[in-house]
Homo-oligomer: A and B are copies of this chain.
């Protein structure tokens, strides 16, 4: 198991926890919680693969991520009252996963001959926020990433740096550069509370919901 797998698995667990907590909070039944958690965890990757024509999706060819998110969900069902104390740890996990998936997705987009910085970035953003958009749509919320948090901007910065750095570096350097920029920037956003403006009203007026971390 490479370091990269560890980053990705860390992210999958963080995303699954976010989906499972939302499901429990919305009073879904056990099956609903499971579907919501798995969708949040691997939905973005499936959406990416379906759109770029990489079918069947990677997670369908190798069910590892699938099984990991299911196990994480079952864990959450027994520990959800107690998980709240680890909110900040989960956010760091989420940032690590976001960085790993941004880099993987940008690389995959290039592989599929999508050679344009706009499109490579779009593919990375779809992977990064797709799962969390599905989660919020399923539980009848306007997607959190549209309303409150500078989440996708870190993915955008990471994907752009990946795209341009691969002209100058070979091997895995662009991949790790993208990971460091995305994850680093995301942790800064969490720490310093950076946010996007809302047009017409002050963004500061809305308190962010507590237990929502966007997933992949």
Contact = CB atoms under 8 A, between A and B. Distances in A.
A6 interface: no
Interface in A103-143: 112, 114, 116, 118-119, 122-123, 133, 137-143
Contacts of A52: 55-56, 60
A97 interface: no
Contacts of A3: none
Interface residues of A, number: 58
A51 B61 contact: no
A68 to B, nearest CB: 11
Interface stretch (A86-94, A169-177, A192-200): A192-200
Interface stretch (A8-16, A21-29, A159-167, A183-191): A21-29
A138 B147 contact: no
How many copies altogether? Answer: 3
A77 interface: yes
A83 interface: no
A100 interface: no
Contact of A122 (B29, B33, B66, B150): B66
29 contacts: A24-B199, A27-B206, A28-B198, A29-B146, A29-B147, A29-B148, A30-B196, A30-B197, A30-B199, A31-B152, A31-B153, A31-B196, A32-B147, A33-B199, A35-B146, A36-B146, A46-B51, A52-B60, A53-B56, A55-B55, A56-B112, A60-B122, A61-B119, A63-B119, A66-B119, A133-B138, A138-B143, A140-B141, A140-B142
Interface of A: 23-24, 26-33, 35-36, 46, 50-53, 55-57, 60-61, 63, 66-67, 77, 80, 112, 114, 116, 118-119, 122-123, 133, 137-143, 145-148, 150, 152-153, 195-201, 203, 206
